[in-house]
Amino acid sequence: MRTLYLHIGFHKTGSSSLQLAMKEQEQALNRAGFEFLSLGKKGNSSSCVDVVEEREQLHFQVNSRFDKLLATRRSDRTIVSAEHLCYLYQRDDIERVQRVCAKHFDKVVVIVYLRRQDLQAISFKKQGARGAASKRSSSSKLLGHDEGAFPSLSKDIEIYYDYFAKLKVWASVFGADALKVGLFSREALHGGDIVSDFLSLLEGDVELSARQVNEGVARKEFLLTHKLLALGVAESELIKLKPMMQEDDTQLIPSRSDARQFFMHFKDSNQQLNDTFLSNDSGLAFDTDFSGYPEQGNDWISVRELSEWIPEILSAGIQRPEGLRDALLADKLQQMIGRGLSGEALTRELEYLAKCLSATAYIARGQQPWYRALKKKKTSGR
């Protein structure tokens, strides 16, 4: 029976590690009777899904590359991994995927891994800070560049993180038995890693070495990249600033209350997800322990930090560095006004604001024209 194992994501659930492991060890898969097809050099086939922004909303559609890829199959047991497929949520689009699969295969096993919404969002937004251009990566298009670890809630965000509604359609189109839903956590994964767990779902004896791929960024690069992209800084300028951002290795982490609030926004969806696809004692499909987060997060830029970073920005070789400094400071002032800071907190921020400005403060003094130095000064009268 011609069988397709179709891995559809989600993003930030070890997809890159899985894809690279299968791409690098294709011969081992072949010896076990499996064929791994991909559109990308690292095993990713997400380019089969177009991500287009129209009228301030994202639209997703499978393109012709998917059909062409499946048409190249030579084995009766084939694997394809394309995490962008998890973007699809409308029945017509998912039915289009099913029709293409049915042309080439008798059976399709749809494999998907889920990660608690707050954990996934932080990791996905970190990936969006790796680039230097807005609206180029899918993370940038979906999550945007607002300050903070989490994206602002929008219709696109609501759709993307409503796991239950999306999987319900996939199960309806492909059949409930065809959908294999796993939880992305070290404790839940077979063997403790995504590669071992995925192989355990295949109908055959396959052994591959695990592969680790880290696509995240540290705190300074996360904060400054998103802030500068939100301000509209050109890609060419951001590239010049990237080296100074990457000197820091501090990890960004939001507050416990912010993480819980983001997760609980999808409470109703997760309750249904728990009843249908995943079962957790919490009743919300995922572990609800948020103790790993601190009481106070570090996912905001303070004026104190700007006072430390601005000298580096000024010396990075960008055009009009003082203008960028002023844009950053004006943005912080607007935030301070909006947050209604007062007392000691306001005083402290104002002190660092003065420090930021003093780094480039300059007053032109009265100077004697050069030609005056050539003339002998008069000693008396007219």
Which amino acid is located at 291 in the chain? Answer: S
* Least confident piece of the model among 61-65, 148-152, 307-311: 307-311
Report d(CA 208, CA 253) in Å as an integer. Answer: 33
**How does pLDDT run across 208-236, given as a tens digit for each residue?**
998 888 777 999 999 999 999 999 999 99
Mean pLDDT value across the chain:
92
Q: Domain segments of the chain: what residues?
A: 3-200, 240-252+301-359
Q: What is the pLDDT of residue 373?
A: 66
| Beta-strand relationship, 49-54 and 57-62 | antiparallel
Identify which of 224, 277, 271 has the alpha carbon closest to the alpha carbon of residue 248.
224
Coil, strand or helix at 287: coil
| d(C-alpha 182, C-alpha 197), whole Å | 9
Q: Which residue(s) pair with 111 in the sheet? A: 7, 180
For 3-200, which CATH class?
alpha beta
**Over 60: is that where the pLDDT of 206 sits?**
yes
The two three-digit tokens of residue 346, written as one number: 């306001």
Band the pLDDT of 352: cuts 50, 70, 90: confident
C-alpha to C-alpha distance for 98 and 176, rounded to whole angstroms: 14
315-320, long-range: CB < 8 A, 24+ apart: 316/240, 316/241, 316/243, 316/244, 317/240, 318/237, 318/240, 318/241, 319/237
pLDDT tens figures, 121-161 = 999 999 999 999 999 999 999 999 999 999 999 999 999 99
Claim: this prediction has a pTM higher than 0.75: yes
What pLDDT does 361 receive?
A: 67
